[in-house]
Amino acid sequence: MTTVAVDTPGGQYPIHIAPGRLDALAQSIPADATAVALVTNPTIAALYAERAEAALARTGKRVVRIELPDGEAHKDWQTLNLIFDGLLSHRYDRKGVLVALGGGVIGDMCGFAAASYMRGVRFVQVPTTLLAQVDSSVGGKTGINHPLGKNMVGAFHQPVAVEIDTDVLRTLPAREISAGLAEVIKYGLILDAPFFEWCEANAAALRALDPQALTYAIQRSCELKAHVVSQDERESGLRAILNLGHTFGHAIEAGLGYGEWLHGEAVGCGMVQAAELSARVTGFPAADVARVRALVDAIGCPVVSPDLGADRALDLMRVDKKAEGGEIRFVLLPEIGRAVTQRAPEAAVREVLAL
């Protein structure tokens, strides 16, 4: 088993990565927990809930399942309330522990419920999508959507442990794997050139879910995200570089209508656009732009943005919450493995949008 430690101002917690971790969940439940609530959705429950419950039953504690409807469309107050309904009707106290079994939607909602139930209870993340394993389960951001904006209501709340079972990715649709791999290569691009090169050499193995390649990619991604988060838990500075490709990607997601492209697909394409913009602003080499495009393509994400119209795309990028005071700040690459945040001339952005 591989373990990555995450340091936060509130203390340290482990990320355990291995095939079959689902059967070892009892190890992450604190000894003084009074009961356990397994929060999941019907899609994941049909595949993994019984195994997770059997593993949790080994703690000898009461285990109650709370199923939420599947999908980003349900990441809202009404669904969040289903968690509180379950916890209160089963009389969970402050020492009850929540377990989030699912993708980023379940993790974000369960985490937010844990942040606010009785002013805060402990929770364990058991991410079941690649995106959740390399990104959303690490770092403590939790929350729900509001009709006027994605992830607009939430809290920072760190889990007590993250349990990553690489085997569960076998039931994930190929498109979701590609989308998760976009966030994986993002870490190489912003922080770790040798890891980017490793991804270039292992793109096919990763898409084929080669266990060794997957374990390493998840481990390195978690290490890099944990490194960033430990230095900047509340996104006052460094953490912003995690948004590489996300400003362009946000315009694609919002412009096409959410759900048309997966988030990771939009980020993959957005990283190609960010590389093109970097070439115009920071002198990022043309040969490296070509490498970014080739790798995004190799992991199975789109490399050409849909034509949203430059004015509309710029408007969409300005309403992205990363745009401070109407000025669009971009995460740009001076070289592979290093990222900076800065404003870019509108003319250069328009050039990239026209590609």
Known catalytic residues are: 119, 141, 183, 225, 235, 239, 243, 246, 250, 263
Encoded one letter per residue, x for contact with ligand NAD by CB under 6 A and - for no contact, window 42-81 reads -xx--x----------------------x-x--x------
Q: Is 104 labelled as part of a ligand binding site? A: yes
Q: Which range, of 57-65, 76-84, 169-177, 212-220, touches ligand NAD by CB under 6 A?
A: 169-177
| Other CB atoms within 10 Å distance of the CB of residue 3 | 11
**Half-sphere exposure for 340 (CA within 13 Å, toward CB):** 12
Q: Which is closer to ligand NAD, CB of 248 or CB of 284?
A: 248
Q: CB of residue 299 vs ligand NAD: minimum separation in angstroms? A: 15
Encoded one letter per residue, x for contact with ligand NAD by CB under 6 A and - for no contact, window 285-324 reads ----------------------------------------
Does the footprint of ligand NAD cover residue 249 (CB under 6 A)?
no
Say which residues have a Cβ less than 8 Å from residue 148's Cβ, sequence separation at least 6: none
Exactly one of 125, 129, 166, 278 binds ligand NAD (CB under 6 A); that residue is 129
Q: Which is closer to ligand NAD, CB of 22 or CB of 333?
A: 22
Q: CB of residue 355 vs ligand NAD: minimum separation in angstroms? A: 26
Task: Please enumerate, by residue number, every residue annotated as part of a binding site for Zn(2+).
Answer: 183, 246, 263
Residue ranges in contact with ligand NAD by CB under 6 A: 41, 43-44, 47, 70, 72, 75, 102-106, 108, 128-129, 131-132, 135-136, 139, 141, 151, 168, 171-172, 176, 263
